[in-house]
Amino acid sequence: MTSGTVISGPRTDADLTLGGFHPASAPDFLPPSVLRSLQLQRLRAIVQRAFDRVPLYRERMRQSGVTPDSLRSLDDVQRLPFTEKTDLRDSYPFGLFASPMSEVVRLHASSGTTGKPTVVAYTREDVEVWASVMVRSFAATGVHRGDIVQNAYGYGLFTGGLGAHYGAEALGATVIPISGGNTDRQIMIMKDFGVTAICCTPSYFVHLIERAAELGVDIKSLPLRIGVFGAEPWTEAMRDHIQASSNLKAFDIYGLSEIIGPGVGIECECQAGLHIFEDHFLMEIIDPSTGLPCPDGVEGELVLTTLSKQAMPIIRYRTHDITAIIPEPCACGRSIRRIRRIGRRSDDMFIIRGVNVFPSQVEAALLAVEGTLPHYQIVLTRDKGLDQMEVQVEVTPEVFGDTIGALERLQRNLAHSIENTLGLRVDIRLVEPHSIQRSEGKAKRVIDRRGETK
């Protein structure tokens, strides 16, 4: 048994349906004081490992005058230097590894927007810990042995596919490793195999719903119960759309390759924030401009430290994901704390005529108006030095066939909804169904052409 797997607990019938996994015996429910001392013990060990084995960490710790054995409390983590994505890029490909290649059993990589990808490594134990947090993730949503899981996250260097695969399999569910894309085949399999749970990005699931309708498949009549959606920001309005157009319950799953992949955190059946698997990931929320800690409940940037990853420990990683710790305990009884849904990244923000805009605000404003589909794109241009923002949004086929007057009314309503949210007048372009490119993975919401125009 590895540190991440289930602590032995009662063997009941429920145990058996979960493939031997009993949620109540998982570290999700540890008394907070036990959890905190486990975290401190692991923090000290991992910082020592990073210090001993990774020159970059040793150098940084020396510069800031911190030694691993000077960490006396969890708050002492704040004395350690941050790690940025550029550190991973600068150490490309293997410079941050803390294990010899003979112990590394897996590599993944995430394609950055520029240049070389960032590479991440796993020992056998790391892969087991990853599977264990994914087991706990699926179990939190109600997936169990006997479920048929269609895994439409991309397999390959992206962590989504294999991460969800190992977890679902370890839980004892039946996995269909279909990967992303080939939408018509996805729908055929979903129907013919009696799929009960699906994993993919929320934007891809919206596409699947729409394509199923075109193929005459009524998603609502299928046994599909649970959707495990993540890898990109989405809104409550999007969840409402998904749940209303299918009969499944849609859960938000969070993760990032640098930390482990999917399975850093997930919503439980209460759907009220994401529980972070704190026994493996130490979280902090900081003010992104000062680097200082934010009190619970206050929004800031999520900073994560891996507490058990052997091949590539990551200390105080600046995720750029904006969220807040939810101070109240969850009704599910898990003691591991929750964060709010990640609606945005600090580097997603763009500024239009002095107003800070996040794509998720636009999504929420659009979906508040009936008659649109959650397919939209924001196009930024510059005209005579002035920034322009156009929101292209697809309308439903019924609306598209409507009178010019009705379309103009919709356009006005959308413009108002966005103006109310952002305090900014933007151009709205209603486009016909299917004209915005569908993504099989992470959706691209913003096209910034300001550099191309005058």
Q: Which residues bind ligand DLL (CB under 6 A)?
A: 110, 153, 159-160, 230-233, 252-257, 261-262, 319, 321, 342, 345
The CB-of-227 to ligand DLL minimum distance in angstroms stands at 12
Query: Is the Cβ–Cβ distance between 285 and 301 less than 8 Å?
Result: yes
Query: Are the beta carbons of 256 and 265 closer than 8 angstroms?
Result: no
User: Smaller CB distance to ligand DLL: residue 176 or 217?
Assistant: 176
Nearer to ligand DLL, 255 or 371 (CB): 255
How many angstroms separate the CA atoms of 247 and 323, rounded?
Answer: 29
Burial of 346 (0-12, 13-18, 19+ CB in 10 A): middle
Three-point CA angle 50, 54, 58, nearest 5°: 75
> How far is 181 from 328, CA to CA, in rounded Å?
40
- Name the residue nearer to ligand DLL (CB basis): 366 or 426: 366
> Closest separation between CB of residue 18 and ligand DLL, Å?
21
Q: How far is the CB of 212 from ligand DLL (least distance, A)?
A: 22
Query: Least distance to ligand DLL from the beta carbon of 7, Å?
Result: 25
Report the residue number, 232 or 402, with the smaller CB distance to ligand DLL: 232
Q: What is the DSSP letter of 401?
A: T
What's the closest the beta carbon of residue 343 comes to ligand DLL, in angstroms? 7
As measured in angstroms, the least distance from the Cβ of 261 to ligand DLL is 5
Q: Cα(384)–Cα(394) distance, rounded to whole angstroms? A: 28
Q: Which residue bears the tokens 């999007």? A: 238
Instruction: Tell me the closest approach of the beta carbon of residue 368 to ligand DLL, in angstroms.
Output: 20
DSSP 293-342: BPPTTS-EEEEEEESS-SSS---SEEEEEEE-EE-SPPTT---S-EE---
Nearer to ligand DLL, 110 or 335 (CB): 110
Identity of the residue, 71 or 282, whose beta carbon is nearer to ligand DLL in the bound complex: 282
Based on CB atoms, which residue is closest to ligand DLL, 230 or 273? 230
Cβ 409 to ligand DLL shortest distance, Å: 33
Measured CA to CA, the distance from residue 165 to residue 183 in angstroms comes to 19
Exposure string over 274-287, b if 16+ CB within 10 A, otherwise e:
bbbbbbbbbbbbbe
Q: Are 87 and 302 in contact (CB under 8 A)?
A: no
The C-alpha atoms of residue 60 and residue 314 are separated, in whole angstroms, by 13
Give the shortest CB-197-to-ligand DLL separation in angstroms. Answer: 14
| Residue 428 CB-density burial (10 A; 0-12 exposed, 13-18 middle, 19+ buried) | buried
Name the burial class of residue 1, with classes exposed (0-12), middle (13-18) and buried (19+) by CB atoms within 10 angstroms of its CB.
exposed
Smallest gap from residue 293 Cβ to ligand DLL (A): 20
For 268, phi then psi, to 5°, come to -95, -170
| Closer residue to ligand DLL, CB minimum distance, 15 or 258 | 258
* Residue among 345 and 434 whose Cβ is closer to ligand DLL: 345
> Which residue, 254 or 281, is less far from ligand DLL as judged by CB?
254
In 3-state terms, what secondary structure has residue 398? helix
Taking CB atoms, the residue at the shortest distance from ligand DLL is: 230
